[in-house]
Amino acid sequence: MSMEPLPDVSTAELVAQRIREAILDGSLRPGDRLIEADIAAELGISRGPVREGIRLLGAEGLVVLRRNRGAIVQSPTFEDVLEVYVVRLGLGLLALHHAMELDAASSPEFDDVQVLLRRLHDREVQVDPPLMMDADLAFQSALFDLSGLARVTAVLEQTARDIPVFVKVLGITYDDVDHAALIERHERLVKAIRTRHRDEVEAAWRDHVRCTVGEFARGYPDAQIEGIFELPLMHHVFDHHDNHNLG
């Protein structure tokens, strides 16, 4: 049997990516309608892949699908952000622990991780918020890739695609992030993996997720964050005595 190789990315996934990019560049904003016919005409394709691409974004929570009324760009709630980081916390720990068990610090790929970590020190990167965000997420992805767990890293990559959209829509900028503290957390994580210190790996990664969730929380008006520690998902990230981290 002879078959032509399939493309790596489906048309629907490409449509989803184009819509995601439009949200990032401000062409689409929360509340905007996604009209299949208009998108199909602009991209020069049929409506089928557009419909499927919008469904993919609906599954990600980036758009709201309304029966007989089409879809609109979602304004992410804090629970949306929290869900992404709960996934990153749990699956990230799984990937990092597995990488450590494989002694990934002895692999050539670990050198790539350290190159990406050094990039975060680059002043030209730090003064460019989108570049800093990309560098930060690239470093984290490289760490997860050390695990060799393809399905786990695929889910983590999906959450990494959600983060820039959250950042854009909520007006969070890496100008406001303490770069020195961010780098210190990542250096702590790399050191723990190198020394194969399981508890320290968990503590460093959990600390990073907590700090990041705190940064997102400060992007919401106080009225939307009231009662935040009553959200069930918060118990996966913070202990009851950690409230000061969001102050």
Say if 6 falls within a structural domain. no
Say if 157 falls within a structural domain. yes
3-state DSSP of 101-119: HCCHHHCHHHHHHHHHHHH
Say if 224 falls within a structural domain. yes
Say if 4 falls within a structural domain. no
Last residue of a domain, one of 57, 73, 89: 73
Containing domain of residue 46, as a range?
Answer: 11-73
Compute the residue count for the chain: 247
Last residue of a domain, one of 52, 73, 94: 73
The residue among 128, 97, 88, 73 whose CA lies nearest residue 213 is: 88
Instruction: For 239, list phi and psi in degrees, rounded to 5.
Output: -85, 165
Instruction: For 29, list phi and psi in degrees, rounded to 5.
Output: -125, 160
Say if 152 falls within a structural domain. yes
Based on the fold, state whether residues 66 and 115 are members of the same structural domain.
no
Residue 244: its pLDDT value, please?
Answer: 45
Q: For residue 42, give the CATH number of its domain.
A: 1.10.10.10
Based on the fold, state whether residues 99 and 216 are members of the same structural domain.
yes
Residue 88: its pLDDT value, please?
Answer: 97
Say if 132 falls within a structural domain. yes
Based on the fold, state whether residues 102 and 206 are members of the same structural domain.
yes
The residue among 107, 111, 116 whose CA lies nearest residue 148 is: 107
Based on the fold, state whether residues 66 and 83 are members of the same structural domain.
no
Report d(CA 179, CA 101) in Å as an integer: 30
Based on the fold, state whether residues 148 and 237 are members of the same structural domain.
yes
Based on the fold, state whether residues 133 and 166 are members of the same structural domain.
yes
Digits of tens for pLDDT over the chain (247 positions)? 554 554 555 888 899 989 988 888 888 888 899 999 999 998 888 999 999 999 988 887 788 887 767 799 888 888 888 999 999 999 999 999 999 999 999 999 999 999 999 999 999 999 888 899 999 999 999 999 999 999 999 999 989 988 988 888 777 766 656 888 999 999 999 999 999 999 999 999 999 999 999 888 877 776 566 667 777 888 888 875 555 455 4
Spell out the residues 6+ positions from residue 167 whose beta carbon is closer than 8 angstroms to its own. Answer: 133, 173
Last residue of a domain, one of 73, 93, 114: 73
What domain count does the chain have? 2
Based on the fold, state whether residues 94 and 172 are members of the same structural domain.
yes
Based on the fold, state whether residues 21 and 93 are members of the same structural domain.
no
Based on the fold, state whether residues 16 and 112 are members of the same structural domain.
no
Based on the fold, state whether residues 60 and 123 are members of the same structural domain.
no
Say if 87 falls within a structural domain. yes
The residue among 221, 120, 238 whose CA lies nearest residue 171 is: 221
Say if 2 falls within a structural domain. no
Based on the fold, state whether residues 45 and 116 are members of the same structural domain.
no
Based on the fold, state whether residues 60 and 138 are members of the same structural domain.
no
